[in-house]
Chains A and B, each alone.
Chain A
Amino acid sequence: MHQFFQQLLDGIASGALYGAMALSIVLVYRASGIVNFAQGEMAMFAAFIAWQSYAWGLPILVAILIAMVVAFFAGAVFERVLIRPFGTEPSGHAALVIVTLGLMLMLNSGAAWIWGHLVKEVPPVFGGGAISIAGGSMSRQNLGIILVVAVGAAVLFVLLQRTKSGLAMRAAASNPESARLSGIPVGRMLMIGWALAGAIGALVGALAAPTLFLQPNMMATLLMYAFAAATLGGFDSPVGALVGGLIVGVSENLAGTYIGFIGNEFKQAVALFIIMVVLLVRPQGLFGSRTVTRV
């Protein structure tokens, strides 16, 4: 029982990261209707920027902030330069998948080119040590991650649901044509969606770096968990992304502990399994809205 509770706590901590990453994927999906396959690599690259700033002597919090700002603008630039020229019609999606894959490869190899494949040491933002919670223990870093993700999600929720620009963003995402007719600058809103996603990804990258070990391939697995979370929650639901992240994090940890074949090294299979099952059984996810195709 104690072990179960401990696994649950660890699962929630990693699930918070998956959920946050899934949130950035969902933001892009809602804005542009595509999955940005480069999202994980953007986060990884931002984590490297944070590390580099830290290595140059800045305090770690400032370094993360810098990385988030850079990623914010990078996200906007990517949307404007690489994505928008293909239009928002579904027929351009296949081309966009390939473009984001190209971006993914460029960022991945680019980071390896600049910083090499050796693992970089990143200090935990919230200090070392652990806190005991109801019999289980949780590292201060993990607790910090959960809090940051919770606060970040709350801020985002307020931004999207309670502000004028949030309303404009939601309008632009759900019906570009009508939004445009009512005077909303749809293009700018899509750009902001990408920019926000970039900033969130950067935060996730910087928070995950101490546990995942900072190196160019660190995000592949996390990206996959995030995809599983987004699929489970529904690709157009920010709430679903967070809930999905928690479910994926917990089930991955429990499966790793209690299912012999999966063990500690093969937990990734859980993500693939979840993605497959959800897409087959309930393609729109738990919170997603069903799309009806009219011909």
Chain B
Amino acid sequence: MTTKTARAQGGGRSRKGLLKRLAAPVRPLDAPIWLRLGTFAVVLAIGVLIPLNSPTYVNFDLSMVMVYAIVGMGLNLLTGFNGQISLGHSAFFATGAYIAAVMIKNDYNYLLTIPIAVVVTWVLGYLFGMPALRLRGLQLALVTLSLAIVTPALIKRLDNITKGQEGINVFLPEPPAWTGLAADQWVYFICLIALAIAWILTRRLSTGRVGRSLVGIRNNELVAQTLGVRASRVKTGVFALSAAYAGFAGVLYTYVVQFVGPDSFGLVMAITFISIIVVGGLGTISGAILGAAFIQYLPKVTSGAGDSAAGFFYGLALVAFMFLMPSGIAGLINLALGPMVRRLPGRRPLAAAPVGSGDMAQVADAPGDEPAEPAEGAAEPGAMSAPRAGGADSSG
């Protein structure tokens, strides 16, 4: 009995060695700015070069990774930073996808669909988030799960617009002649630009004041309110914003896949979205991309075992990551690279540097011993809310 109590108090984890280190909350990488910008530039450069020399199917897969990564970033703002769980983002994704499909079919310019889908899903998210902010935790999960279940039925019900079960085939116009690109390369670049925008936006939001209020609400809403954070406004806002991310990604999905049908946007997709952020790493930006790659490429690995095997392994990954590595792949990378990165010059130390110590290495090590974030290390046994209050992302 006593051991049980002790384990419950210790967050229910009594593992040793490597497993324990994996399960522990990971500190932010806190890379120097030149490394962050450098990594971003290198990734972007590679991203630009790949499609020029790759066959169509590679571009297709990578485009899908970027589409999912955008959803993941929005969802991560909501779940990873703010602690609200939404299982209904497949609904917003479907809204974006269907807005694009229906508009393109009616001969509107396909790029025009992006702002419209973003605005519409933002408004929908806001309307949905307003009651949702009164709900917390499980209740929000319940409502959004129901939303995910209803979505395919709603699409079928609105069959005079959505063509119901039949779905809509979408034909994009040829890319502009001056680019000299093939259709798949053109779509790829649209996705790449979208991802870069989402990355920068998410990073700006998550590291600044907004990010701190998000994390503050996640960790203790009442305290955050006491400190002057307007919790309800922030929560609704971030819900609407993450819905808009999903809507944006939905439009890109239509560009890439060129077909929408009701049964793609069901419950499985909603939970797959959760897999993106859990596998990639909750509360990390690069994690969304890693998780998106995971869900896009896993079916190729498991396809030999059957069509449904992928879904099984998504579920298994959710359970396994929550148990073994709650900080996800990004956390694993942080853990691996951390010691190296902390030795690099040019870091902006989290704590005030001791004056006149002169020794760069010593300064750099100081925050390592004593993380500057207050309120961290507070009892947070829940793996979900692994405190990452600082510059809560990894730079890669």
Any B CB within 8 A of the CB of A152: no
B317: chain A residues at CB < 8 Å are 102
Do the beta carbons of B316 and A87 come within 8 Å of each other?
Answer: no
B190: chain A residues at CB < 8 Å are none
Any B CB within 8 A of the CB of A292: no
A276: chain B residues at CB < 8 Å are 131, 143
Rounded to whole Å, the gap between the CB of A265 and the closest CB of chain B is 6
User: Of the 9-residue stretches A139-147, A165-173, A220-228, which lies at the interface with chain B?
Assistant: A220-228
Given that A187-B4, A265-B153, A279-B135 are known contacts, is A271 also in contact with B146, CB under 8 Å in the complex? yes
Chain B, range 197-256, C-beta contacts under 8 Å to A: 222
Q: Give Cα A227–Cα B318 distance, bound, in whole angstroms.
A: 23
Do the beta carbons of A266 and B323 come within 8 Å of each other?
Answer: no
Q: Smallest CB-CB separation from A84: which chain B residue? A: B12
Contact for B311 among A90, A109, A187, CB less than 8 A: A109
B267: chain A residues at CB < 8 Å are 217, 220
Number of A-B residue pairs, CB cutoff 8 Å, is: 177
Do the beta carbons of B319 and A82 come within 8 Å of each other?
Answer: yes
Of listed A94, A180, A231, residue having the most chain B CB within 10 A: A94
Rounded to whole Å, the gap between the CB of B62 and the closest CB of chain A is 25
Do the beta carbons of A89 and B8 come within 8 Å of each other?
Answer: yes
Do the beta carbons of A92 and B12 come within 8 Å of each other?
Answer: yes
Contact for A280 among B7, B131, B314, B316, CB less than 8 A: B131
Chain A, range 227-284, C-beta contacts under 8 Å to B: 227-228, 231, 261, 263, 265-266, 268-269, 271-272, 275-276, 279-280, 283
Any A CB within 8 A of the CB of B102: no
Rounded to whole Å, the gap between the CB of A124 and the closest CB of chain B is 26
Rounded to whole Å, the gap between the CB of A243 and the closest CB of chain B is 19
Chain A interface residue number, banded: 35 or more
Any B CB within 8 A of the CB of A175: no
Do the beta carbons of B8 and A94 come within 8 Å of each other?
Answer: no
Of listed B271, B305, B310, residue having the most chain A CB within 10 A: B271
Chain B, range 98-154, C-beta contacts under 8 Å to A: 131, 134-135, 137-139, 141-143, 145-147, 149-150, 153-154
Of listed B141, B316, B379, residue having the most chain A CB within 10 A: B141
Do the beta carbons of A98 and B278 come within 8 Å of each other?
Answer: yes
Q: Mark A91-111, 1 if CB is under 8 A from B, else 0.
A: 111110111011111111110
Enumerate the 5 nearest inter-chain pairs by beta-carbon distance, A residue then B residue, closest first: A109-B311, A102-B318, A105-B315, A106-B315, A94-B384
17 inter-chain pairs at a CB distance below 8 angstroms, sorted by A residue, are A85-B7, A87-B381, A89-B11, A94-B85, A95-B326, A95-B384, A101-B271, A102-B314, A109-B308, A109-B309, A109-B314, A113-B308, A224-B150, A263-B157, A265-B157, A275-B142, A283-B134
Known contacts A113-B309, A272-B147, then 10 further A-B pairs from the complex at CB < 8 Å, ordered by chain A residue: A35-B138, A89-B8, A91-B385, A101-B315, A102-B318, A104-B271, A109-B308, A265-B157, A268-B153, A280-B134
